[in-house]
Structure 1
Amino acid sequence: MNCWKTFNIGKDFGTIRLNVLSLMGMIIFFIVYYLLFIDLTHVERLSSFNPIIFLITIIFILPVHKLIHCLSARVVGKKATLSFGWFNYEIIPSIHCNIPGTLSKRRSLLVIASPAVVITLGMVILTIVYPQHLHYFSLISAINFGISISDFVYLNNLIKAPANAFIEDGPDGCRILVKQS
């Protein structure tokens, strides 16, 4: 007899809606970040645009985001591994952070929120130190924010979960496990 009640939170949002929300969030975040820091740093001249740096940034932001998920899981005491595969009929490569077993609600909140916090905080510090590269740092932050939208959907559902819940990572999203009385 199964004594756990499972809530699957991986399929709550439609893929198209999530992608549109991510794109809109990315654009709004870029505008706000750029305008805020262009005003705060009083930079007179931005460095010239380098498309190679821009492409490298776009290629590596998702693996770095997933790597931070795995590293934060290891920090809270869980073994985590990165796996690479193919998505969408073997056209688009995908990366997934695998965390075997369950995590407590607090640890799950930390693991899920860590890439958004770490990368954004890092870009804010770099923007303050090197304001002439503001356009690069605002792009990196905006792309990471767009990637983090799905994490924010998970966080929203986890916050509503009971305090004694455990979270299990699965191929179709994470599941909230609540012990039935």
Structure 2
Amino acid sequence: MRCLKSVNTERRDEFNRRFLKSLLIWLAALCIIFLARNFFTHDDFSTKYNLLAFIGLLLIYPLHKMLHILAAWKYRAGVAVHFKRHFYIMPCMQVRIHRIIPKWRYIASLIFPFVLISVCLIGLMVVYPLYNTPIFLILLSVHIGMSYPDFIHIRKLWHMPRNCFVEDAERGFSILISD
């Protein structure tokens, strides 16, 4: 195999910049969700499901990372989870796959948490009147903002050749093509 392209994601989009962009997308999603909720319903907010939504807020980040691992289950021997501390207080999980993985499997492992959690949250919103709970709406917007770095990686991989492979590197990932 030969390397077609190396993408250095840490140099180009360092953690602070990705965090700021995710935060801005989270705030924009929060505004849009609250506006849509107020446009479609004229009810007052209720506090009936606040505890459930707060527990969801605490568990969404580890669940999101574990779903990345679940989507790449076939390559679990090469999966490594590292914990880093950012801003001196914020613990962050990094999921790295230290094996060569096909491009479409890598894209699927990146998009799987967004799709599954979004479907579950929207399903819960339809079954229960969770759209009246402000913390649930915050949970939905946090999930959208949290998925932003995954979409950056997907955008970089999308226009690569169909039968290429991805190798996770120390500062990003490499696109490999078989000879």
The reply to whether TM is greater than 0.5 is: yes
| CA distance in 1: counterparts of 2:87 and 2:123, whole angstroms | 40
Q: How many residues align?
A: 176
Give the aligned residue type for 1:19.
Answer: F
Task: Say which is worse superposed, 124-133 or 47-56, in terms of deviation.
Answer: 47-56
| CA distance in 2: counterparts of 1:38 and 1:130, whole angstroms | 17
> C-alpha deviations, 1:29-80, integer Å up to 9, x for none?
122223324444x373432288765654443221011011111112xx2216
| CA distance in 2: counterparts of 1:94 and 1:118, whole angstroms | 21
Any residues of structure 2 matched to 1:1-181 within 5 Å, and which? 3-11=2-10, 12-40=12-40, 42=41, 44-48=43-47, 56-74=55-73, 77-79=74-76, 81=79, 83-88=81-86, 91-132=89-130, 133-179=132-178
Give the aligned residue type for 2:119.
Answer: L
Change (3 A) 1:9 1:165: farther
Change (3 A) 1:130 1:39: farther
**Runs of 5+ consecutive residues of structure 1 not aligned to the other structure:** none
Q: RMSD across aligned C-alpha pairs, in angstroms?
A: 2.8
The alignment-based identity, stated in percent, is 23
3-state SS, counterpart of residue 162 of structure 1: coil
Give the TM-score normalised by the residue count of structure 2. 0.80
Task: Say which is worse superposed, 119-128 or 82-91, in terms of deviation.
Answer: 82-91
| CA distance in 2: counterparts of 1:174 and 1:58, whole angstroms | 30
Give the aligned residue type for 1:32.
Answer: I
3-state SS, counterpart of residue 93 of structure 2: strand
Give the TM-score normalised by the residue count of structure 1. 0.80
3-state SS, counterpart of residue 79 of structure 1: helix
Give the aligned residue type for 2:136.
Answer: F
3-state SS, counterpart of residue 46 of structure 2: coil
